[in-house]
Structure 1
Amino acid sequence: MLARVLRRCISIKSSRLTPEEIVAKTKRPLKPTSALSLPLSKTTKGRKGPAAVHMKASVDDLVDTTSAPMRLAKRMAMAGISSRREAEKIILDGRVVVNGSRVTQVAHNVTFDDVVTVDNKTLPARPSKRRVWIAHKLPGELVTSSDPRGRPTIMQRLKAMGFDTHVMAVGRLDYNTEGLLLLTNDGDYARFLEHPKHSVQRVYRVLVWGQVLPSKLDELRRGALVDGVKYRPMEVKIESTTKDKETWLQVKLTEGKVRDKLVKLRLTAILVAL
């Protein structure tokens, strides 16, 4: 099992903050057994986040730059369009053209010599080098490229700052949460990090109001059953409390959608005695 730690500092409490620019950008793509260590700035005004993010991963099977035939979905993922699974859906929707002919079969093979277009955008003849960036996702913006309701998105903000590379986010943070977000131009690598079977650990800082009940923390540590859904055990500990009876918790888990889980587990209702 590959050992990686991904830290995200999140405040579920909505607040107005001064927008911060991208925290850091890698100088080179990830390579097999290479390590990535990036500094992390303060996550919110007046509060310090983790000092660094460290990742170590063996990913030799994720990129193939040879001219051998490959599945069309793989070629799309290598171009950063999406993960392979999402690419297959795009193919089935009839949005992909290969050498002038529309393709709707996911088993279709291509090489780098084939001209592939997705939604009228031509894929590069060779895959870009895999790169990973980290960015500070602000409260009040979505982790997507556009929103039909016109709400701000992190991709729009980064583009306005001059970051115009096509990237995918690794996981999601909710509209009113903030924290570190990984971005990559490799759809397969994004999927690799997101998939629960790889047990990539996320570390969240969560602010709750009122008195935290230790018995309910134990319930989270054991793994709770809510509405017929069994949630994996979480590592939960109290970091600090404030004079206003606010409590900072550190929550570690290997599944995504942390807010979903905390709400379903009634972290802000059962755990907090107002």
Structure 2
Amino acid sequence: MERRKVLVRLNRYISMCGLTSRRKADELIKAGKVKVNGLVIKELGYRVDPTTDVVEVEGKILKPPRYRYVLLNKPCCYLTSLVSGKDGKRSIKDLIKDIPERVYPAGRLDYNAEGLLILTNDGELANMITHPKYKLPKTYLVWVEGKVSNETLKAMEKGADLEDGFAKPDSVRIVKVKGNITLLEVIFHEGRKHIVKRFMAYFGHKVKKLKRTAIGPVKLGNLPSGRWRDMTDEELNALKKAISLEKKHGVGV
């Protein structure tokens, strides 16, 4: 069977190779500093085949990108950003300085939230992880103020009308109650900003602590806070299978 060519935009390919951002790549292209197979290319929408085309930037031939898939246990009070934060806020950039590839977070966690982040330079997979149409579930442990009653739990299962639309968890359950704090496990397949906190606030419960423990079949496990590790082949295959099954069955389309 003949291999199907997969073409990517030239600016994205340059970024994938770790040279610079897509925006800066566009500037290099417009300036005539990029060649493909020996020819100067100034067309911003130009596409290349990463497996056969030779891309040269300012006289330097780019090496084809090596995809990297990283799991990070983000601590509380770190920005999900690869640039330094304002007002002295730390970012996850400080935690992944020893990763040579330019990997980017597939999704976000709030500044005060902690737990699992997937970082990768595989843009296609990152998009599938974050896009709600694939309905990839994200699992959270949520500590809230007050005792969540069974009636409230049943109401949570039915969903809530938030200011930016209806939100319904894939599942929600009470893990334990200690004093005036309830620990819940909540699963959402979408990633609207502050969705877990806003959902809990709708029912009158303020979030004290939020931790993401899984993205699809990939679990945080015992990865220490602030540390990262490469995703195993088994985890990567399971993740791709979960996404492709959702896509195949047309879930969420």
TM over 0.5: yes
CA distance in structure 1 between the aligned counterparts of 2:132 and 2:198, rounded to whole angstroms? 19
Preserved contact between residue 80 and residue 168 of structure 1 (Cα < 8 Å): no
**Amino acid across the alignment from 1:105:** L
C-alpha deviation, 1:262, in angstroms:
2.7
C-alpha deviation, 1:264, in angstroms:
2.9
**Structure with greater helix share of residues:** 2
Q: Which runs of 5+ in 2 are unaligned?
A: 207-253
Preserved contact between residue 72 and residue 110 of structure 1 (Cα < 8 Å): yes
SS for the counterpart of 1:75 is helix
SS for the counterpart of 1:216 is helix
Q: In the superposition, relative to structure 1, how do residues 69 and 157 fare at CA in structure 2: closer, same or farther (>3 Å)?
A: closer
CA RMSD in angstroms, aligned pairs only:
3.4
C-alpha deviation, 1:247, in angstroms:
0.7
The answer as to 2:10 corresponding to 1:72 is: yes
1:95 corresponding residue in structure 2 = 27
**Structure 2 counterparts to residues 96-115 of structure 1, below 5 A:** 96-97=28-29, 98-99=34-35, 103=42, 105-106=44-45, 108-111=46-49, 112-115=53-56
Q: In the superposition, relative to structure 1, how do residues 104 and 215 fare at CA in structure 2: closer, same or farther (>3 Å)?
A: farther
1:53 corresponding residue in structure 2 = none
**Amino acid across the alignment from 1:115:** E
CA distance in structure 2 between the aligned counterparts of 1:226 and 1:141, rounded to whole angstroms? 26
Count of residue pairs the alignment pairs up: 192
CA distance in structure 2 between the aligned counterparts of 1:110 and 1:202, rounded to whole angstroms? 34
CA distance in structure 2 between the aligned counterparts of 1:125 and 1:75, rounded to whole angstroms? 10
SS for the counterpart of 1:272 is coil
SS for the counterpart of 1:115 is strand
**Amino acid across the alignment from 1:245:** N
Q: Which runs of 5+ in 1 are unaligned?
A: 1-63
1:238-259 deviations in Å (ceiling 9; x for gaps): 00111x32110000110114x6
SS for the counterpart of 1:164 is coil
Q: Percent identity?
A: 26
The answer as to 2:142 corresponding to 1:206 is: yes
**Amino acid across the alignment from 2:108:** R
C-alpha deviation, 1:77, in angstroms:
6.5
Candidates 69, 80, 84, aligned match of 1:132? 69
Preserved contact between residue 201 and residue 252 of structure 1 (Cα < 8 Å): yes
